[in-house]
Structure 1
Amino acid sequence: MSEGTTKLAAASQGRRGGGRDHGGGSGGGSGPGHGRVGLTGLVVGAIGVVFGDIGTSPLYTLREAFNPHYGLTANHDTVLGILSLVFWALTVVVTFKYVTIIMRADNEGEGGIMALMALAQRSLKPGSKSVYLVGILGVFGASLFFGDGVITPAISVLSAVEGLQVVAPGLDDWIVPITVVVLGMLFATQRFGTAKVGRIFGPITLLWFTSLAALGVLNILHEPEVLKAINPWWAGRFFVEHSWGGVFILGAVVLAVTGGEAIYTDMGHFGARPIRLGWYWFVLPSLMLNYLGQGALVLEDPTAIRNPFFIGVPEWGRWPMVVLATAATVIASQAVITGGFSVARQAMQLGYIPRMRIKHTSSETIGQIYIPAINWSMAAIVIALVLSFRTSSALATAYGVSVSMTMLIDTLLLAIVARALWPKWRRWVLPSCVAFVVIDVAFVVANGAKVLQGGWFPLVLGVVLFTLLRTWRRGKQVLREGNQADGLRLDTFISGLMLAPPVRVPGTAIFMTSDPGVVPHAMLHNLKHNKVLHERNLFLTAHTLTTPFAPAERRLQVHNVGDGFYQVTLRFGFMETPDVPLALMRGCDIEGLDLDPMETTYFTSRESIVPSRHVGMPLWRARVFAVMHRNAAPANAYFRIPGNRLVELGAQVEI
């Protein structure tokens, strides 16, 4: 191979995620990325997985609005006012903000706050302070998403099982044990993947939303007066009558819109178009009919406010509804869990959390994954929440604090993306963002009042996760800077080595390194202890792009240094699972660099971190980083390197 740089168009791994149009396009789709799955199947699957969270909010939202904590009376004007607030919150926050606008900000078909953060960073000057601040916002938002996300399964399943209080009051003592068993089964089935789960849950959720709509219509017919709540005048009147104190009712109204972020996060699993179709034509109408139906029931009988959802069900259907609601709340939990997997992989590839084992659960859609460490961590926290709070009303006081802050961060990142990448659309998107900020701040203030009653939990969890993410990022940076400061420059080292070369042996040695300009520790140890040099030596660096999938023409870059040394750069998108041997096999089959897998050995360094008071980070953060580093998945598992072709050489590093 000639001197210089040769770009090799290695075949792209994985699919391209939906369509993308950063000028205000469709924001994803149901194209080839979803294999043979048709649009109807994707819509059903999306209904089964994506809308579970927001779809079970009717179980507790209206009931919590009249919690004695808020001091409201279930009279005509108050009921219509709250229903109007719920209707317009769903319309403005979920329908307009998330489904219509933010889902256009897809990062090559992928959604979620980490994908939005990466998209916003690409629109800014590389290395600027703005990029750093956007990174802080995105990581904090992702941490808050997990903080509130673990509450969703607990409150959803608890609220469904609490239907036993209406149909069989004698079973009160069994509510918490049944909830724990249901949640345990849910997390145990995650390894089968969202494709299989979606096929099972889709029909159940279709029945759930159909039942919501039917119950709503049944109750509305008894009190059609409730339809007036669609008029925003009633929402305005509520605030006028309750003055500034009325703002705090948004702490209950937010329960109706939790799940909006999960809709965006799960976009990569099913595509934007199926999600939009499911929301506009099925989910939103069903939700609103049920909320209005509950309001009609309360207008007719104010005492029904103690549990308007189940009391509104005819007596003959209450037992089946408890079973259906429990199944639906399991699906609600699914939306958050799958969103958690997506956000975790994005954070992993962008360098914010240690490497973890990722299992692909679909051969057709690369977005469908399972991460055991995330799954079982969430399971432990969720079950602990159920055992601690014990009722959905108690959990409602902890719910909404973090998600309202996440929604505010989403708005700020959307404004950055719209200003830089949407020249035709920003004239109306940016003014919309101003309105969204006002609404989001109101939700944050309202939920802030719940901090002492339980809202502290998701905040504390979010801050802990944020600290871990930033510690890992900073620790990796300190490691890289230390290697650059203490390492030998590759160009001068090779020229000196060739003056008195060691014994050359057949085969290819691939040295994994994070800095292509510095001699890898693994090579120095190999020369020191084995005193041999392979016929071909590749210094391989894997980079993660801020796009979900690396273009084929940028996948692999090879530079011939001479004397059998090559610098190789592999690029992967942040939604891809790096497969180094496959990428090399597809890209290096050229004259002079024909890699035989059976004659190729991979060398990596396994650093042992030694915390120090005076190197890079405070001692407590260095210790935290050392623990995280020790428990990270090994390089061969993460990069899919065969264990029988890998040599790991240890080194102690102070940090």
Structure 2
Amino acid sequence: MGANHGQAPSASRLAGLTVGAIGVVYGDIGTSPLYTLKTCLTAHGNLPINAENILGILSLIFWAIMIVVSAKYVVVIMRADNRGEGGILALMALALRDLDPRSRKGLLLMGLGIFGASLFYGDGIITPAISVLSAFEGISVISHTLDPYIVPLTIIVLVALFAIQRHGTSKVGKFFGPIMVFWFITLAVMGLRSIVHAPEVFAAINPLYGARFIADFPLRGFIIMGAVVLSVTGGEALYADMGHFGQKSIKIAWFGLVLPSLVLCYFGQGALLLHNPAAIKNPFFLLAPQWALAPLVILAAAATVIASQAVISGAFSMTNQAVQLGYCPRVDIDHTSDQEIGQIYVPQINWFLMVAVILLVLAFRTSDNLASAYGLSVCGTMVMTTLLAFNVLGKTLDPGRKMLFRVVLIGFLVVDLIFLSSNMLKLPDGGWVPLVMGLFIFTLMTTWKRGRTLLGDRLREGELPLQGFVESLEAAPPQRVEGTAIFMTTSADSVPHALLHNLKHNKVLHEKVVFLTIRTADIPFVAKREKVVVPKLGESFYQVIATYGFKEEPSVPSILKQVAELQPELDFDPMQTSFFLSRETIVEGKYPAMAWWRRKVFSLMTRNATRATSYFKIPPNRVVEMGMQVEL
């Protein structure tokens, strides 16, 4: 992982990135054949298993993959990269560039990005549940006497999966790619083995079969589109993981192995059903000969664990980006690799996902039932991505190409909306689960963003300009004491409240004073030479402005090390350096700016946010916190 942006990787590195992409990016979509075709044929009225219906649904699956994944994500959406990085929050940051975030358009684009990111968490709880459950359902093909063990085995594997997250994926990640390469080769071989006996199944490539199926059964065809979308779940991962592997390796992996293997597997299942309609009970596992069933169950379980790992890691990465961009309170973030910056572990998110996933397995118990809840959050994220890309690509392309891409994106949006509206019919059968999850997280993220904005406005009321205040302190200094004081502040041009409280109550000032402001840019990474600037405000006053990308984790010790290189006279002796921070307590104002329930939620999130000392890696024994109450 960790594609080098701006330079073409060597052949050996490109090969490694391609294998890595197969292991991480394509885990979700690669396990879709376990349940997609069966769900399409059985979940909505038990369609007759005849050639007309089989070829019609196969045609819909094939063209869904070609339009949504190949054309939309691989060819078009990946062009909308934020300095090589993808994902809906990176896309939102790109769309908001040069826009006032409080303008109507800015708020709309922000809302689209936050809601799309919120729905991603809904997908994050269903993917591990349905993937691992569908893999162990292969046991029933071996013997129905093992059926009672499917759910317990699923829960055991899921608990183990979440329990090992704290160790990170750096040690086992190298094995993900080869296992998934073997998985996709297995899909292709099983499919070819079946297609040989019914090559007429390739007729489904003709889109007329899908069109005729929908024309003959308009209502049923519309409903089944909600199951067809299961074949493209995981498409968002292509875009989200672009920064780890680069566009080229993701495209090579898709067109070179993943797409052909998926098509052959789906068509192989169709060929099997053409000759043996009874195989509908589990067309995927019945593709394999009897002697290969047990090894296939084990391989499928490994593939689904890898697919789940990719979604969980994506949730960690999404949370980190949300914190940096100001849509989530600070959380504990542990780096699990010394080499890969993207490999992180977020304990709060990990245990939350584990509990939610296990509850889903216990509530739905079969992959067929879970399929009824799956897809709504995926389609919602797809719609949000298309709308944001419409805005971004409109900025970066010349007028001729801009019109072409906008027409193409409108076509993609129509397809996305068809999938979304079809999935809305799943609401009574469990589709409400990811939607409620997404709305809950959307409410938390917007409450945090709104609360921090209002808090910032309140704190800026009556603030003193920093430069003038420094000049007055140097002209008539209070009692000076040895050492260096570092005042953490969000505003680089006004006096920190912690300094005012310190002067008011302690009536002293350190011999050297540093005002430290840490900012997050709307790009994923900031070059080291641009990360820190140190303007000198006076004889003993310095200002430090550190800028990090939204995929980086700020570290005060590393900032101070770079400051010492730029300003040698600043010696940050740990025993002579004190950090002054403000700590706000939210109370109800006379004229409240937030609804009472949102103020309660924001106050709760503030109290439970990871302390600044831990998040910024500040030595806790050198910190002085100055408390204050703020009315909202």
TM bin, normalised by shorter chain, reads: over 0.9
Confirm or deny: 8 A CA contact 2:3 2:17 kept in the other structure: no
Confirm or deny: 8 A CA contact 1:585 1:595 kept in the other structure: no
The one of 563, 567, 580 equivalent to 1:587 is 563
Confirm or deny: 8 A CA contact 2:582 2:625 kept in the other structure: yes
The aligned counterpart of 1:19 is: 5
The one of 290, 303, 313 equivalent to 1:338 is 313
Confirm or deny: 8 A CA contact 2:2 2:243 kept in the other structure: no
C-alpha deviation, 1:153, in angstroms: 0.3
The aligned counterpart of 2:581 is: 604
Confirm or deny: 8 A CA contact 2:586 2:631 kept in the other structure: yes
Q: How many Å separate the matches in 1 of 2:2 and 2:478?
A: 46
Change (3 A) 1:591 1:414: closer
C-alpha deviation, 1:395, in angstroms: 0.7
Aligned to 1:150, what secondary structure does the other structure show? Answer: helix
The aligned counterpart of 1:194 is: 169
The one of 441, 444, 456 equivalent to 1:465 is 441
Aligned residue identity for 1:253: V
C-alpha deviation, 1:272, in angstroms: 2.4
Deviations 1:535-579 (CA, angstroms, capped at 9, x unpaired): 111122111110111244532233333242233221111111011
* Superposition map of 1:390-405 within 5 A: 390-405=365-380
Q: How many Å separate the matches in 2 of 1:37 and 1:594?
A: 45
Change (3 A) 1:37 1:199: farther
* Residue 433 in structure 1 maps to residue 419 in structure 2: no
Aligned to 2:323, what secondary structure does the other structure show? Answer: helix
Confirm or deny: 8 A CA contact 1:49 1:194 kept in the other structure: no
Deviations 1:195-249 (CA, angstroms, capped at 9, x unpaired): 3332122222122111111110011111111011111111111111112441221
C-alpha deviation, 1:448, in angstroms: 0.8
Change (3 A) 1:640 1:155: same
* Residue 74 in structure 1 maps to residue 49 in structure 2: yes
* Residue 257 in structure 1 maps to residue 232 in structure 2: yes
The one of 172, 177, 201 equivalent to 2:152 is 177
The aligned counterpart of 1:532 is: 508
Aligned residue identity for 1:371: V
Q: How many Å separate the matches in 2 of 1:323 and 1:270?
A: 28
Aligned residue identity for 2:583: R
The aligned counterpart of 1:654 is: 631
* Superposition map of 1:201-240 within 5 A: 201-240=176-215
* Residue 92 in structure 1 maps to residue 67 in structure 2: yes
Aligned to 1:527, what secondary structure does the other structure show? Answer: helix
Q: How many Å separate the matches in 1 of 2:43 and 2:301?
A: 26
Confirm or deny: 8 A CA contact 1:239 1:247 kept in the other structure: yes
* Residue 523 in structure 1 maps to residue 486 in structure 2: no
* Superposition map of 1:373-452 within 5 A: 373-423=348-398, 425-452=401-428
The aligned counterpart of 2:452 is: 476
Deviations 1:16-48 (CA, angstroms, capped at 9, x unpaired): 96436xxxxxxx9758xxxx9822222222211
Name the stretch that deviates more: 419-428 or 92-101. Answer: 419-428
* Residue 352 in structure 1 maps to residue 327 in structure 2: yes
Confirm or deny: 8 A CA contact 2:101 2:110 kept in the other structure: no
The aligned counterpart of 1:9 is: none
Aligned to 1:407, what secondary structure does the other structure show? Answer: helix
The aligned counterpart of 2:26 is: 51
Confirm or deny: 8 A CA contact 2:101 2:107 kept in the other structure: no
The aligned counterpart of 2:140 is: 165
Q: How many Å separate the matches in 1 of 2:268 and 2:3?
A: 39
C-alpha deviation, 1:410, in angstroms: 0.7
Change (3 A) 1:209 1:386: same
Q: How many Å separate the matches in 1 of 2:74 and 2:106?
A: 26
Name the stretch that deviates more: 354-363 or 393-402. Answer: 354-363
Aligned to 2:319, what secondary structure does the other structure show? Answer: helix
Q: How many Å separate the matches in 2 of 1:128 and 1:311?
A: 56
The aligned counterpart of 2:547 is: 571
* Superposition map of 1:636-647 within 5 A: 636-647=613-624
Aligned residue identity for 2:358: I
Confirm or deny: 8 A CA contact 1:17 1:108 kept in the other structure: no
Unaligned runs of 5+ in 2: none
TM-score of the superposed pair, with normalisation by structure 2: 0.95
Q: How many Å separate the matches in 1 of 2:316 and 2:489?
A: 27
Q: How many Å separate the matches in 2 of 1:571 and 1:128?
A: 24
Aligned to 1:66, what secondary structure does the other structure show? Answer: helix
State, as a whole percentage, how many aligned pairs show the same letter: 52
The aligned counterpart of 1:511 is: 487
Q: How many Å separate the matches in 2 of 1:285 and 1:391?
A: 28
The aligned counterpart of 1:102 is: 77
Q: How many Å separate the matches in 2 of 1:29 and 1:213?
A: 30
The alignment covers a number of residue pairs equal to 630
Change (3 A) 1:583 1:295: same
Change (3 A) 1:194 1:611: farther
Greater relative contact order (Cα < 8 A, sep 6+): 1
C-alpha deviation, 1:123, in angstroms: 5.6
C-alpha deviation, 1:84, in angstroms: 0.7
Deviations 1:236-280 (CA, angstroms, capped at 9, x unpaired): 111111124412211010000000012221222322222221111
Q: How many Å separate the matches in 1 of 2:473 and 2:549?
A: 36
Aligned to 2:358, what secondary structure does the other structure show? Answer: helix
Unaligned runs of 5+ in 1: 1-14, 21-27
Change (3 A) 1:243 1:126: closer
Aligned residue identity for 1:255: L
The aligned counterpart of 2:16 is: 41
C-alpha deviation, 1:141, in angstroms: 0.4
Aligned to 1:538, what secondary structure does the other structure show? Answer: strand
* Residue 631 in structure 1 maps to residue 608 in structure 2: yes
Aligned to 1:559, what secondary structure does the other structure show? Answer: coil
Q: How many Å separate the matches in 2 of 1:245 and 1:547?
A: 45
Aligned residue identity for 2:375: G
Q: How many Å separate the matches in 2 of 1:229 and 1:471?
A: 48
Q: How many Å separate the matches in 2 of 1:601 and 1:152?
A: 47
The aligned counterpart of 1:622 is: 599
Q: How many Å separate the matches in 1 of 2:427 and 2:231?
A: 19
Q: How many Å separate the matches in 2 of 1:491 and 1:636?
A: 27
Confirm or deny: 8 A CA contact 1:540 1:569 kept in the other structure: yes
Deviations 1:123-148 (CA, angstroms, capped at 9, x unpaired): 64665322221111000000011112
TM-score of the superposed pair, with normalisation by structure 1: 0.92
Aligned to 1:602, what secondary structure does the other structure show? Answer: strand
Q: How many Å separate the matches in 2 of 1:17 and 1:208?
A: 24
The aligned counterpart of 1:3 is: none
Confirm or deny: 8 A CA contact 1:606 1:651 kept in the other structure: yes
Change (3 A) 1:574 1:597: farther
Name the stretch that deviates more: 576-585 or 488-497. Answer: 488-497
Deviations 1:269-292 (CA, angstroms, capped at 9, x unpaired): 322222221111011111110000
Q: How many Å separate the matches in 1 of 2:590 and 2:31?
A: 50
Confirm or deny: 8 A CA contact 1:16 1:108 kept in the other structure: no
Q: How many Å separate the matches in 2 of 1:553 and 1:399?
A: 46
Aligned residue identity for 1:41: G
